[in-house]
Structures are given as structure tokens and as C-alpha cells.
């Protein structure tokens, strides 16, 4: 089975999430970053279903696809309701897939588990920042986006705990 290096998998996710060292503070930036991150979660998890032979990896990947697809749909509906532009998902899916197809190396399961820990740590930081913002009534949808971030945090933290267990079960070689 061909796998992927953690470095290359992280690069693909970083490309599709565009989360640099600093997270943006505005609600529109939150929508962009949350949507991109959600798309990356779904795409890397679809790949895990194809490439992994481990039952625990596949179960986690299925949960990521279900949970992040639901969250992505909620976020998109919230954004549209408040006239906030949602990133074009087609472009991000295409970019993520192109980068993923370029990668080859030894252990997909370890790379996927490591990536899930890192991605969820970054996502939790993004959502905590949005959940803790002082809402600006002049920014359309700010209160709803803050509530969305607060609502999603417990599930994201659960995902991180589960990803850390996968990481321990599938160590890098």
C-alpha cells in the first residue's frame, strides 16, 4: 500500500485550509477559514477510506466525513442567511486533491492520524477565537457565527481526543 508523508499531507491540508500562523479576526475570515478547513477534513477523510486498511482509521474517517459535512452545511446556510460570501468549494476540493495525488511514501495511517491532530488543534484555535469574540452588531451575522463556533467546539475537542488516540495507535516509523 502506498502512503503519504506527514509533511506532504500537512502541506495539502495547509493549502486547502489556507490557515497561516495567524488567524483572521473578522467573521468573514472565520467563514472562509472554517469552510476551507471543513473541506480539507472531508477530502482527507475520503482519501483515508480509500487508502487505509485499518478499521479504526476508517471509522474515524467516516465520522469526520459525516460531522464535517454537517458542519459545513450549517456554516454555508448561516453565511448565506447573512449575505456572507462562502468560498468556492470546487476550487478548494480540486487543489486539495491535486496536492494529495502528488504525495507518496510509507505510512498513510500515521500521516493521517498526525494530520488529524494538527488540523483539529488549528481548527479549535480558530473556533475558540471566534467563540470568544465580542460581537459587533454592525457585522451582519456576527452573533450567529459566534454561537455556531461555541456550538461546534465540544465536537471538535472530542475529535481531537480521538485523533490523539489514533496517533498513539499508529505511530510514525
How distant is the alpha carbon of residue 60 from its chain centre?
13
pLDDT band at 66 (very low <50, low <70, confident <90, very high): very high
What is the predicted pLDDT for the residue at 12? 41
CA gap 37, 13 in Å, rounded: 8
Segments in 52-138 forming alpha helices (H): 55-81, 89-102, 108-131
Q: Which whole number is the average pLDDT over 117-121?
A: 92
- Higher-confidence position of 66 and 97: 66
**59, 36 Cβ separation under 8 angstroms:** no
Domains of the chain: 6-169 (1.20.1260)
- Higher-confidence position of 167 and 3: 167
What is the predicted pLDDT for the residue at 138? 67
User: What pTM did the predictor assign?
Assistant: 0.77
CA gap 63, 161 in Å, rounded: 13
pLDDT surpasses 50 at 13: no
Cell 454555508 found at: 76
What is the predicted pLDDT for the residue at 11? 36
Amino acid at each position: 500500500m502506498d502512503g503519504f508523508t506527514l509533511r506532504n499531507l500537512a502541506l495539502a491540508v495547509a493549502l486547502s485550509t489556507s490557515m497561516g500562523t495567524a488567524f483572521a479576526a473578522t467573521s468573514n475570515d472565520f467563514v472562509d477559514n472554517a469552510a476551507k478547513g471543513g473541506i480539507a477534513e472531508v477530502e482527507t477523510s475520503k482519501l483515508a477510506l480509500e487508502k487505509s486498511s485499518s478499521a479504526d482509521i476508517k471509522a474515524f474517517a467516516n465520522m469526520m466525513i459525516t460531522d464535517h459535512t454537517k458542519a459545513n452545511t450549517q456554516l454555508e446556510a448561516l453565511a448565506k442567511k447573512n449575505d456572507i460570501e462562502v468560498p468556492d468549494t470546487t476550487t478548494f476540493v480540486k487543489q486539495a486533491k491535486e496536492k494529495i495525488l502528488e504525495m507518496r511514501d510509507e505510512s498513510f495511517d500515521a500521516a493521517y492520524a498526525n494530520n488529524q491532530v494538527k488540523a483539529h488543534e488549528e481548527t479549535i484555535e480558530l473556533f475558540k477565537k471566534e467563540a470568544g469574540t465580542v460581537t459587533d452588531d454592525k457585522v451582519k451575522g456576527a452573533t450567529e457565527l459566534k454561537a455556531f463556533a461555541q456550538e461546534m467546539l465540544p465536537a471538535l475537542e472530542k475529535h481531537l481526543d480521538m485523533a490523539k488516540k489514533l496517533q498513539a495507535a499508529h505511530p510514525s516509523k
